[in-house]
Structure 1
Amino acid sequence: MNKYRLLQLTRELINIPSVTGQEGEIGRFLCRYLSNNGFSIREQEVSPGRFNIFASKSDRVDLLFSAHLDTVAPYIPLSEDETTLYGRGACDVKGGLAAMVEAVISHGETEGQSAGLLFVVGEEYDSDGAKAANQWGMVQPRAIVISEPTENRLAVGQKGALLFRLKARGKSAHSAYPELGESAIEPLIESLRQLTQIDFPQDDYFGETTLNIGVIRGGTKVNVIPDYAEAEIIMRLAIPYSQVLEKTMTCLHPQVELETISRCDPIRLTSVPKFESIVVAFGSDAPYLTNFGERLLIGPGSIHDAHTDHEKINKVDLKRAVEMYRNLIKIYMT
């Protein structure tokens, strides 16, 4: 392992803003970096200016490593102290991505090459990159390792997710004459209140279903009856999404409609002997990467630092991740 190379790549990745939908620059950087390190590169366009990357040094790929290129907003520039790198994407998942690259490069330098790299766009919204990659058919490995901040523990289960938008429609009018209009905000608020009161069944393996009302939009001016309002909600599912969706529909006001953005059921993932394991509540691309053999979910950093204004990755944890990824290469080579 080249520790300097690992940390420098992590720094460079954090320094490149790559909020979902704006992954072009980081994709071009990685293509240059990997090409300069002897990888053959293939790109898959997902939408204009956004593309997935597949990189390998051999036609044989026993193990495929995957990480997403995008981050949530807002961009936070790199800062650093003796032990830690800070900035947007540090743990989610540019640190894990760099550890995967270093693991594949350093393993190939000493023991031959049988691992590949797959980097995808769009994980932080609807996993459009992973969905496209799953149909790409570029390689058929024994397993795929997906990086997310699991504190270098193997996630053997992941809650499902249901991301949807509630849209309410009314009739605009002057606020001095409310009887001539119909507010879109009031039925939306009532539907959200009802939604938070639903008691969803729990699961012994995945725990409880939770929800977050992340975005609410509505109205144009205080003196206008609003004719449109919407909210975006994400639910972390312990039970199949069809059951959750059925219960959710029962609480909606007649003026409110539901638009599903993305959905997936809870999934069980591959376990590996001697690896500490956990079940995670957060989402990943794992549900959509089904055509690459066994699925393993593991990476450095803590999910509790992701999406925050103090996002960080510990340098020692990065180095441990490289060693862990190299161990997985050895396991899947045999």
Structure 2
Amino acid sequence: MLTESRKEKLITLCQELIKAPSYSGEEEEVTKAVKNNMQKLGFDNVKIDKYGSMIGHIKGKGTGKSILFDGHIDTVGISDRSLWSHDPFGAEIVDNKIYGRGASDMKGSVAAMIYAASCFAEDKNFKGDVYISCSVHEECFEGVAGREISEYVEPDYVVIGEATNLNLARGQRGRAEIKVETLGKTAHSSNPQIGKNAIRHMINLMQEIDNIDLNEHDVLGEGILEVTDIISNPYPGASVVPNLCKATYDRRTLVGETKESVLNQIEEEINRLKEIDEDLEARVYYAEDEEDCWTGEKIKAERFFPAWLYDKDHELVQKASTGLAQVGLNPEISHYSFCTNGSHFAGEKNIPTVGFGPSQEHLAHVIDEHIEVDQLLKGCKGFYGIMEAVLK
């Protein structure tokens, strides 16, 4: 399926996407590159939605199932460019590795799925529909841009293209960002007895939170609740007893855990501590954020992105595994260790979803990020195999 000519074109497409900087909210340049390439490669329709995600559509020869391949086109920043051995936007090929920000996470995968769809349409007479979504703002809000995409496409199946080292992922833990606040009363620190120190209340509360018995899943592993920052008000607190203390927790969730159940665990600890300390005033809630899209639209979300998991014998898992084997890959069936746009497609919408992508998880967000050319080519073959297995 990948002739020498096709391989060169795929590599060139990957390089073109890497050369277009696309930090979250600044994806316009790479979106235009994607649109131009989809049109050149014979996609039937291309659409940019209100958030700035690009959706390409290839129609089959008759009515059938629809499958959506999703890959985000935003990237994290590069921090100190002087630390990079290769230009982060140069897309240099050295030792059969393509270097650049987003090469692994996940412009290589996006290039592979776009080119696989084009080759599949050219080679096969199929029924159904292939969609490729190049989504924005994933680094800020896993799955939120996907809400607009799923409403437009209404897919029967979804493939998340995040890196799996060419293995097949059938689920992931979810992620939540939780804020815990304690309230106090300001006073001069030379007379602390007339105030109420919010930090001291937070210390006591955090000790209780540390005792929460988190769930464990036989596939996804342990739930996680880890404090990631803490700050008091006023700050700096020069000779002032603080009247507010706020802590942020990163919560990794498991299937079956809901928005309500996750917060209830902390609320129970607050209520338990209030029975001991009647002066305690505290609350817990999910962080909420709003960002600008390159289209001028605002994207806003509460930071709770659910877990999801499908059985090994699920129809899509089996078809995808078969399709990968038919193109010469030998995937292990596993799961993601991080959060993806699958939190929306599978976790919120319950659309059958798997993950498959070239490159390795640990290459995301690092200095000298890269993707191996061999992984890129095999990833393209894998996407092609999944299309064939699902739509044959």
User: Normalized against structure 2, the TM-score is what?
Assistant: 0.73
1:262 partnered with 2:320: no
Greater shift, 22-31 or 101-110, is seen at 22-31
Distance 1:313 1:35 in 2: 25
In structure 2, the CA distance between the partners of 1:19 and 1:185, relative to structure 1 (3 Å rule), is: farther
Do the aligned partners of 1:236 and 1:281 also contact (CA within 8 Å) in 2? no
* C-alpha RMSD of the superposition: 2.9
Which ranges of structure 1 fall in alignment gaps of 5 or more residues?
A: none
- Hey, what does 2:343 align to over in structure 1? 287
1:53 partnered with 2:54: yes
Q: Give the letter for the 1:33 counterpart.
A: N
Deviation at 1:239, TM superposition (A): 4.8
1:207 partnered with 2:221: yes
In structure 2, the CA distance between the partners of 1:240 and 1:108, relative to structure 1 (3 Å rule), is: same
Do the aligned partners of 1:121 and 1:128 also contact (CA within 8 Å) in 2? no
Do the aligned partners of 2:263 and 2:285 also contact (CA within 8 Å) in 1? no
Distance 1:32 1:317 in 2: 24
Distance 1:6 1:232 in 2: 42
Q: Select which of 10, 15, 31 maps to 1:11.
A: 15
Question: What secondary structure does 1:304 align onto?
Answer: helix
Runs of 4+ in 1 over 6 A off after TM superposition: none
Do the aligned partners of 1:200 and 1:244 also contact (CA within 8 Å) in 2? no
Distance 1:311 1:193 in 2: 39
In structure 2, the CA distance between the partners of 1:69 and 1:221, relative to structure 1 (3 Å rule), is: same
- Hey, what does 1:231 align to over in structure 2? 247
Q: Give the letter for the 2:306 counterpart.
A: C
1:68-87, aligned counterparts within 5 Å?
68-74=72-78, 77-78=88-89, 80=92, 81-87=94-100
1:196-220 superposed Cα distances (whole Å, 9 cap, x missing partner)? 3423132222221123433444442
1:90 partnered with 2:103: yes
Structure showing greater Rg: 2
Question: What secondary structure does 2:53 align onto?
Answer: strand
Deviation at 1:310, TM superposition (A): 4.6
- Hey, what does 1:26 align to over in structure 2? 30
User: Normalized against structure 1, the TM-score is what?
Assistant: 0.84
Deviation at 1:148, TM superposition (A): 1.0
Q: Select which of 54, 63, 68 maps to 2:67.
A: 63
Do the aligned partners of 1:201 and 1:239 also contact (CA within 8 Å) in 2? no
In structure 2, the CA distance between the partners of 1:194 and 1:285, relative to structure 1 (3 Å rule), is: same
Question: What secondary structure does 1:213 align onto?
Answer: strand
Q: Give the letter for the 1:294 counterpart.
A: P
- Hey, what does 1:245 align to over in structure 2? 263
Do the aligned partners of 1:146 and 1:298 also contact (CA within 8 Å) in 2? yes
Deviation at 1:57, TM superposition (A): 3.4
Deviation at 1:316, TM superposition (A): 0.8
In structure 2, the CA distance between the partners of 1:105 and 1:221, relative to structure 1 (3 Å rule), is: same
Distance 1:43 1:212 in 2: 37
Distance 2:12 2:371 in 1: 13
In structure 2, the CA distance between the partners of 1:210 and 1:293, relative to structure 1 (3 Å rule), is: closer
1:299 partnered with 2:315: no
1:41 partnered with 2:56: no
Q: Select which of 118, 122, 126 maps to 2:133.
A: 118
- Hey, what does 1:277 align to over in structure 2? 333
Distance 1:311 1:190 in 2: 42
Which ranges of structure 2 fall in alignment gaps of 5 or more residues?
A: 82-87, 274-279, 287-302, 326-330
Deviation at 1:191, TM superposition (A): 3.5
Q: Give the letter for the 2:123 counterpart.
A: T
Greater shift, 230-239 or 91-100, is seen at 230-239
